Amino acid sequence: MIGCVLTRWQPVIGDPTWQGWATVLVYLATMGLALAAASRTRPAATQGRERTFWLITALIMAALAVNKQLDLQSALTAAGRCLAQAQGWYDRRRPVQIGFLVGLAVLALLFLVILRKLLRGSLSRNLLPIFGLVFVCAFVLMRAIGFHHADRLLGLPVLGLRANTALEWIGPVLISLGAVRLLRSGGR
C-alpha cells in the first residue's frame, strides 16, 4: 500500500507558483492574527473559550500552510485510490466518494455545533471567523476527494487568480477580518 501511494504522491513542493506561495503567506498571516486575537479576548465570562477557539484556529492555519506545499490531501487521495484498486472496487468508487462527502457534511455540522457550544455568549463576535474556518476546512477536505471535473473548474481564471486560489483565500480572509475586528475593538 505504501509503495502504491508513493508512486502516486511525492513529498515535494505541491504548488511552486506565486499563487501557491502567496496562499502559504495568507495562511501564516491569518495564523498570526488568530494568535493576536487569542491574547486579546474579553470579557472574562467567555475569555477562556474564545482563547481556545482562536488558538485552535491558529493551529489549523499553521497546518494548512504546511499542507499547501506538501500537498498531503493528495497523499490521502492516492491512498484512497490505491485501496480501491487493491480491493477491486475502483470502478465503483462514486458511492464511496458521495459517502465521503456526506461524512464531511456531517462533520462540518458537528464542528458547528461544537463551536456554538464553545463560543456561547460570544457567538455574534466570532461569527465571521467561524464561517471562514468552516469554509476553508470544507474546501480543503473536498479537494482531497479529487473529483476530476471539479479540478478542471478550479483551474479557471477568476479576477486574475485561479479559481482554486480565490476560493482557498475566502476562509482565511473571513477569519482575518474577524480577528482584526476583535483586535480593533480591544477584545470587547
For the segment 46-78, what is each residue's pLDDT rounded down to a tens digit? Answer: 788 889 999 999 999 999 999 888 888 778 888
Query: Would the CA dihedral through 61, 57, 96, 75 be positive or negative?
Result: positive
Give the model's pLDDT for residue 147.
57
Report which residue type is found at 132. G
Can you tell me which residue has the cell 474564545?
50
Q: What is residue 33's predicted lDDT score, i.e. its pLDDT? A: 97
Q: Looking at residue 175, what is its pLDDT?
A: 97
Q: What is the pLDDT, as a whole number, of residue 32?
A: 98
Which pLDDT does position 188 carry in this prediction?
A: 56
Residue ranges per domain, the chain?
19-184
Average pLDDT, the chain: 85
pLDDT of residue 103: 87
Q: What does the pLDDT read at residue 148? A: 56
With 0.85 as the threshold, say if the pTM is over it: no
Helices 47-70 and 72-87: crossing angle in degrees, nearest 10, is: 70
